[in-house]
Every structure is written in structure tokens, then in C-alpha cells.
Amino acid sequence: MKKYPYTESTDLVVYNKKPKKEKKQRVWLTALCSALAASIFTAGVFGTGMYFTLKNTDSVQTQSTVASAVTTETDSSSSSSAELTTYKNGKKVLTIPEIAALVGPSVVGVINKTTVSTQKYYDPFSGRYYYSSDSEDAETVEQGSGSGIIFQEDGYIVTNQHVIDGADEVSVILNTGEEFTATIVGQDTKTDLAVLKIDPGTTELTAATLGDSTTVEVGELAVAIGNPMGQEFSGSVTAGIISAVNRTMTIDNRTYNLLQTDAAINSGNSGGALINQYGEVIGINSVKLSTTGVEGMGFAIAISEAKPIIEELMTSGYVTGRPFVGISIKETSYGLFIAGVTEGSGAEEAGLKAYDMILEVDGQKVSSSDEINEIRDSKQVGDYLTFKILRDGETMEVQVRLTESSGE
């Protein structure tokens, strides 16, 4: 009989001579093959699943790592770009403690001293006490104080003019407590700036870096360092932001272009430093509004406007080429009146007197000292201004030759 190979065909099963034995063998073999096939299939599925799981995990991790790297790089690039765009120099941003440590040694105390007599006598006719004018009985006492900024290591210091106004002697106190007698190199009342010079000897001075206030923007960090209320609180550090730029203010008939800040500025801070986030001086603290109900309104002279004045004061002792009339003015509801005339000025030469009422200047009606100053500043030293005045009920015109201001 022809033998048939073992298969799972139903025909072969029917005609097989030994059905029971071969059926058991076929069942066993079938089960074995099925188990092997199942194992292979399971292993394949599990392996494939693990492969794709690991692959996907690696992919996610890789993508996450790449994304993180890209984000970091983008953030870094963005930060760097922002700094370059805002300041165009890529300088490191400092913390407030770093700013205080860097610039603090450059801020000094400035003491305004005057000479007074210690000898007084009683006048029985007036019933009052008077001090002797004898210089042998005099002593030097403090009459005011402020702050200053060392801007050259050889001892040059800038401060406000009103800090040293009327001083017979000026002292400078470093943040170490060392005190030096200072020489007034030059001063300018119009800009409220003055330059002092000390001889440091063997003492090493730390000069501050003068920045560029033309790039300052509203909202930037502003740190003020100075001596509020005198030397007792020397080196005080306050912080805030730049509240406004190019604030025009008129104080005592003088107009200033100022930076506004909410960093606390108090009496004694005048002449101190207003600093940006890079540790650069961007302003010289000068004014605070102290009206009732007003808080956080301090002002500083923009350093970019102060620099040329500082240079002039160092070179000439005053700002050269500035026209000067030689009168002080009192503004009233009735009009403008001459309050005083400077000795040796063009106004004195022309015959202007106190109590003259000013009607016009160069044919223009004027109602404020600012208007007169604007007309004056359009002229040069040696030019003339025509003042139309009212004196004792009589109207007259006076030609005043403009001289050069000495800054005082």
C-alpha cells in the first residue's frame, strides 16, 4: 500500500492504517508546534513591542533633550539680544548688592563749612548780642552737607553747586571715614554742578564709571547711593526704577533737564550717584519733591548733560561762552521786577536798577524769567539786549551788553 506523508488533510486521516497511534502522535506534534509557534509569535510581539516602546522612549527623550537645548539656546540668545538691543554693549547685569559694592567706595560725603566768630558782645543800645568780626575769634563750623562722586582716581569729585554754595571751606569724607580738605575747582549755578579736588596722598581712590543717560528707558533699575540726613547715614543705598526721562523743571529761576526716579532721595543725597543695572552712573541726585501727599518723586541731573559741564569746570573753572545779563528777577502778579543788579555786569553798566519793571526784551513782551532767559540764550557774548522798562512812571529803553558768565 502506498504510504502518504503525514499532513493534516482529512482524506489522509480517514485512510490511515493506524488511526489511534498516529492520531496521538499528530496531536502531540500539533500541540508542540502550536506551542512553539505561539512562543515565537509571543516573543516576536513582545520584542517588537519593547523595541518600539524603547524606540519611542528614546525618541521622546531625545526630542525632549533637543527641545530643552533649543529652548536654552533660544532663551540665551533672546536674553543676549535684549541686552544688546537695549544697551548695545552686552555688559553684565549686576545685582543691587554688587552695585553697592562696586560704586559705594566712589560716593563721598561733602561738608560745607563756614567761619563764625566765637566772641560775642552785648549792645545795650539795641538790646542785642553781636558776634565779633575779629578773625582771631573765629572758628570753622559745618553749615550743611551733601554727597559727591569720585570720577577720577587722582581726586576729582563732582557734586551739586548748592551743596558747596557759600562755603568758606569744603571737606570730603570717604566711605572709609578718612577726611580731606577739598579745593573748589569750578562751580556753575545754572546747572547746579561743581567740581572739587582733593589730594589723596597714598590713599587709593575708587573712581565711578560715568555712563550714557541718553539710552536710559522708563522702567529700568535705578539705584541711589548717598548720605541722606548727613554722615550718620552715609553710604545709604536705595533702589527703584526710572520713572521718567527728560523732565524739565524750573527751580529758583533755573531750568533743569532731569531723570525722575522713585528710589528714595532725601536731604543729603544731593550730589550722590544714580546708577543703572550695569554699575554706571547715569545721574547726579539733586532734587526731591517734598510737598504734602507726594512720595517717591526724586530727580537727578542726567549724566550725559553733566559731562560737558564737568569738563568745562575742570578746564576753565566756569562754563565759557555763556551770555550773562547780570540781574535777578522777582515775578509778581503785577509783572516782572528787577530784584538786584550784579556789580560789574552789563546790566549795571547800562543803568538798570532794582525795582525797575521789565515790560519787553528785544521787542517781545515777557511775563517770566524763563522767557527772558530764552531770549538771552539765543545771543552770544558781546551782543546786546534791549530792555523796555518802567521806572517811576516813565517808560524807557536800555541797551544791555551781554558779558560772559562766570558760572556763579
Nearest-10 Cα torsion for 14, 16, 18, 21 = -70
Q: Is 270 a catalytic residue?
A: yes
Using DSSP, state whether 109 is helix, strand or coil: strand
Closest of 334, 338, 349 to residue 402, by C-alpha: 349
Q: Which residue has the cell 541722606?
A: 228
In the numeric block, which cell numbers belong to residue 215? 539710552
Q: Is 77 a catalytic residue?
A: no
Choice among 270, 345, 369, 405 that is catalytic: 270
Closest of 300, 282, 104, 110 to residue 194, by C-alpha: 110
Choice among 147, 162, 188, 234 that is catalytic: 162
By DSSP bridging, strand 364-365 and strand 394-401 are: unpaired
Query: In whole angstroms, what separates CA 236 from the centre of its chain?
Result: 16
Helix (H) or strand (E) holding 193: strand 193-197
Choice among 171, 188, 192, 345 that is catalytic: 192
Q: Is 192 a catalytic residue?
A: yes
Q: What's the DSSP call for residue 320?
A: T
Q: What distance separates the 2 farthest-apart alpha carbons in the chain?
A: 169
Query: What are the residue numbers of the active site?
Result: 162, 192, 270
